[in-house]
Amino acid sequence: MLYRITNIITFLLLAGLLCLHNLWQPVAWWVFVMLLFVYVSLLVWGSMDVRAGFYMPVTCQVPTQQKVVALTFDDGPLPQFTPQVLDILQAHKVPAAFFCIGKNIPGNEGLLKRVYEEGHLVGNHSYSHHFWFDLFGAGRMLEELQQTDTNVQQVTGQRPLFFRPPYGVTNPNLSKAVRKGGYFALGWNIRSLDTVIKEEGPLLERITSKLQPGSIILLHDSAAVTVQVLPALIAYLHSNGYTIERIDKLLNKPAYA
């Protein structure tokens, strides 16, 4: 694990500098500051880049040369856009994965049931998706994941095994919670930015310009532009020889416990 390796290397460098400073030759203070700066920078990068796998294993692309991709949707179920996304997927006979926020399930049980019964994967995206989720302790993180599991299980009868970190941020506490809960962490290699880009053309260009075999595409069933671009995206994928499969099938991993 990169986090552990980084800690070991930093400790050895610090110990070496201290020995040098105390036993042979004084070391300038800025050398210690620089070491600390590099260390903290690596921790921040490892936290923010889900593809780094810095603190925990996170699958962000399918290892294949075949032209297959997976569509994933975060933040539902939501009555405004999730039904429209489902209608489009159903019309094109395309499977996807929906990473649900647990607090969005009460009141939208019928919508979640439709997601499941129409053959899409239901994944865990935490219960609150709280802005400060990444500062929670491991125990509280695990409680959030388990609370979402309970809500999903009450509707579908299944406990999700696939988990996507809120905001794509990872840290040692989340690693511990995921490991203890037995989840499979899934990231992405194409971040559509459909919560930021509001026009269909630029959004489609951003996604298609990054396409490659095994891509995992991050979308949200909480944005109007996603509904607008989805038919064009599916058409582009098909016209360029890509097959859209459910992510658990591509990875040969069980979706539920």
Two tokens at 114? 């439709």
Active site includes 75? Answer: no
Please tell me which residue in 74, 149, 221, 248 is annotated as part of the active site: 74
DSSP-derived 3-state class of residue 105: coil
How far apart CA 135 and CA 197 sit, in angstroms, is: 28
Two tokens at 140? 């509280």
The residue with tokens 């159903």 is 90
CA atoms within 13 A on the CB side of 196: 5
DSSP-derived 3-state class of residue 170: coil
Q: Which amino acid is at 201?
A: G
In DSSP terms, 186 is beta-bridged to 59
Please tell me which residue in 120, 194, 220, 221 is annotated as part of the active site: 220
Active site includes 194? Answer: no
- Report whether 55 contacts 1 (CB < 8 A): yes
- Report whether 194 contacts 203 (CB < 8 A): yes
Using omega within 30 degrees of 0 as the cis cutoff, is the peptide bond preceding 106 cis?
A: no
Positions marked catalytic = 74, 220
